[in-house]
Amino acid sequence: MTTPDQIWRILRLKKIQVSKGHLKEQLLSHPDYPSLMSISDILDEMRVPNAVVRIEKDKIREVPVPFMVHTAANGGQFLVVDNVDRLMARNPNFVNTWNGVVLAVENDGTVADDTARGRVEKKRQLLYLLAVVMLMTVLGFIFFNFSPANIVSSACVILGGIVSVFIVRREFGYSDMMVEQLCEIGKSTDCGSVLKSKGTRLFSWLSISDLTIIYYSSMVVLLALLSSDQLAVSSTISFLSAAAIPFTFFSIYYQWKIAKKWCVLCLAIVATLWINFGVVVPRFAEADVFRLEPSVIIAVMLTFLCSAGIWLLAIRPAVIGYMETTNEYFRLVRFKRNPDVFRSILEFRRKIDMAPLTHDLQLGTAAAPLKVLMVCNPLCIPCAAAHELLYDLMARYEFSLTVRFAVNYSNKEDIRTRVVEHIFKAVAGNNKYSDPGYVSRLIHDWYEQMNYTEFVRQYPVENDMPVDTEIEEQRGWLARIPIKATPTIFVCGYELPEQYSVADLAMMVKRGLHLE
């Protein structure tokens, strides 16, 4: 199980709804991945209460489960502990490979990922759709006057196909919480070690999992193609079920004597094959059971060849290529988000004087070492998005944020100029230049609605309030510092590189980056 899967599992055990994809993306993008610090950072970003602490090893049973630990076993690995006794039974040398550090997570009732509920609902809808499809398939068998034996055999084929998908997903590094719990049901069960062992590979390009997915996908296709011919279905299922039985002896022997671990998924495949075989055994006495028509034989051969070709030459290489590309992408993102790399690139960018204006719109903590200046436009959608991210960061981390507006100050009738004037009138009229909280709420409220009429109603001001000095300061600064587009962001005086976004600043802000 990969580290993102482990984190997702502990959050699920704590009943914290998150998007698994979003969690994985954020974690793999962290410059210090994989480490407990990177995990804690991402949980902080998702507003999940967590703590990394060192405890006495003999106090491990006092830590509320579930929690996460890191051990030096197998080259270093993370483990989710939901039962300490089971952990000790499965890993007798655990205490010697563990450094005493645990990561604990709490559920404070908040939703860590605002989109999680919607995604969970979509997954639930997909499960409902799958259930309907399976029900319609069974009803279709009954409609075509399938015998009870054929229905049981077909159900075994469908179940085996589902299990084979889980096996392939595990081989590709994907995990499912229910499957993981089944695979760890006892100290002698370990799907991962069995499926990754050398004995499961027939050749360098072909594994047992490949054969499983090819076999069951071909069987499902054949059931659909031959559904109107009971004799053809009976003959095909009987022949293919009998042909697969020798594999079950090898599988059980290998797990028992060589791997010395049991793979629950493999045993499920063995069970479906034997149930299927048990159902078709009585047919062997029938004279026509193995008398396959030439057309059926051709259909079987072509189906298996097509399934093997599509899987081995198209689907599998595409998935492997996607995984390699994704891994390379995240390696580059981690390199890009490394604070040292960011600092080195930043120091080659344009540098400006960050000296505050007399009437600056100051948000955050002015004395903080990390100083950010954002030049924006009141009606700029990307500016609103950038401000939302920075506003959210200010609620969690300490840094200085100054906002300046790039508008045509000569055109007093321009709505953008009127918005900026109104913002300055609201701040000056309430004498709030020294109140970063008020300025922050004011600008946040504007970008949240971007409706001038509603904004004026929310923040009424005197129309004759003089703000000429403030406007002239803004105009003069823009004359000295050319701004080509908004938002333009400066970090400690240096212009943010084009390859970096405001979202990339989150890691730097957390680290308290400063160049002065």
Q: Which domain holds residue 176?
A: 145-332
Does residue 124 form part of some domain? Answer: no
The per-type count for the chain, helices as H runs and strands as E runs, is 21, 11
CATH number, residue 98: 3.90.70.10
Which 3 state secondary structure label does DSSP give 201?
strand
Same domain, 385 and 507: yes
E strand or H helix that includes residue 99: strand 98-105
Tokens of 426: 């609201």
Asked if the structure places residue 67 within a domain, the reply is yes
| pLDDT score, position 454 | 92
Note whether 297 and 265 are same-domain residues: yes
Q: Are 289 and 388 in the same domain?
A: no
Is 157 in the same domain as 248? yes
463 and 323 share one domain: no
pLDDT mean by block of 10 residues, the chain; 516 residues: 81 83 86 85 85 88 87 81 84 85 82 53 62 62 60 81 88 77 78 83 86 89 71 70 86 89 90 85 59 74 92 92 90 86 88 88 83 92 90 83 90 90 88 85 92 92 81 90 90 89 77 57
Q: Are 283 and 238 in contact (CB under 8 A)?
A: yes
pLDDT for the residue 287: 45
Instruction: Say if 477 falls within a structural domain.
Output: yes
Q: Which two tokens stand for residue 390?
A: 């920075």
440 is a domain residue: yes
Query: Cα dist. 281→238, 242, 273 in Å?
Result: 8, 9, 12
Considering the domain architecture, whether residues 274 and 383 belong to the same structural domain is answered as no
In the listed set 57, 75, 105, which residue is the last one of a domain according to the structure?
105
Residue type, 107: N
Q: Token pair for residue 169?
A: 């997903």
Boundary (domain end) residue, out of 332, 358, 380: 332
Whether residue 387 is found in the same domain as residue 484:
yes
Q: Distance between terminal CA atoms of the chain?
A: 43
What CA–CA distance (Å, rounded) separates 336 from 485?
A: 23
Q: Which residues contact 356 (CB under 8 A, 6 or more apart)?
A: 362, 366, 402
What are the DSSP E strand ranges found in 368-483? Answer: 371-376, 400-405
Total tally of structural domains belonging to the chain: 3
Same domain, 389 and 303: no
For residues 358 and 484, give the distance between their C-alpha atoms in angstroms, rounded to a whole number.
24
| Residue 453 counted as domain residue | yes
pLDDT at 125: 62
Write the CATH number for 444: 3.40.30.10
Final residue of a structural domain among 272, 302, 332: 332
Q: Dihedral (C-alpha) 377, 381, 382, 385: value to the nearest 10 degrees?
A: 110
Which of 208, 212, 214 has the alpha carbon at shortest distance from 163?
Answer: 212
Looking at the structure, tell me whether residues 94 and 192 fall in a common domain: no
Angle at which helices 415-429 and 468-480 pack, to 10 degrees? Answer: 120
Residue 186 lies in a domain: yes
171 in any annotated domain: yes
Q: Look at residue 339 and tell me if it is in a domain.
A: no
Q: Enter the tokens of residue 170.
A: 């595990």
The whole-model pTM stands at 0.71
Say yes or no: 300 and 414 in one domain: no
One domain for residues 479 and 452: yes
Same domain (yes/no): 50, 81: yes
Residue 482 DSSP symbol:
-
Is 312:206 a contact under the CB 8 Å cutoff?
Answer: yes
> What is the full DSSP assignment across 266-319?
HHHHHHHHHHHHHHHGGGGGSTTTT---HHHHHHHHHHHHHHHHHIIIIIHHHH
403, 361 contact by CB (below 8 A): yes
The enclosing domain of 296 has a CATH number of 1.20.1440.130
